[in-house]
Chain A
Amino acid sequence: AQSVAQPEDQVNVAEGNPLTVKCTYSVSGNPYLFWYVQYPNRGLQFLLKYITGDNLVKGSYGFEAEFNKSQTSFHLKKPSALVSDSALYFCAVRDMYSSASKIIFGSGTRLSIRP
Chain B
Amino acid sequence: GAVVSQHPSWVICKSGTSVKIECRSLDFQATTMFWYRQFPKQSLMLMATSNEGSKATYEQGVEKDKFLINHASLTLSTLTVTSAHPEDSSFYICSALRTSNRGNTIYFGEGSWLTVV
A-side residues, CB < 8 A to B, are: 36, 41-44, 46, 51, 90, 94, 100-108
| A contact residues around B43 at 8 Å (CB) | 90, 105-108
Q: How many residues of B contact A (CB 8 A)?
A: 22
**Known: A100-B49, A102-B34, A103-B34. Is A43-B42 also a contact (CB below 8 A)?**
no
B-side residues, CB < 8 A to A, are: 6, 32, 34, 36, 42-46, 49, 57, 93, 95, 97, 103-104, 106, 108-111, 113
Chief secondary structure at chain A's binding surface: loop
**Known: A102-B49, A103-B95, A107-B43. Is A43-B109 also a contact (CB below 8 A)?**
yes
| A contact residues around B36 at 8 Å (CB) | 105
A-B contact pairs, 25 of them (CB 8 A): A36-B108, A41-B113, A43-B6, A43-B110, A46-B108, A90-B43, A90-B44, A94-B106, A100-B49, A100-B57, A101-B32, A101-B97, A101-B104, A101-B106, A102-B34, A102-B46, A102-B49, A103-B46, A103-B106, A104-B46, A105-B43, A105-B45, A105-B46, A108-B42, A108-B43
CB distance from B112 to the nearest CB of A (A): 9
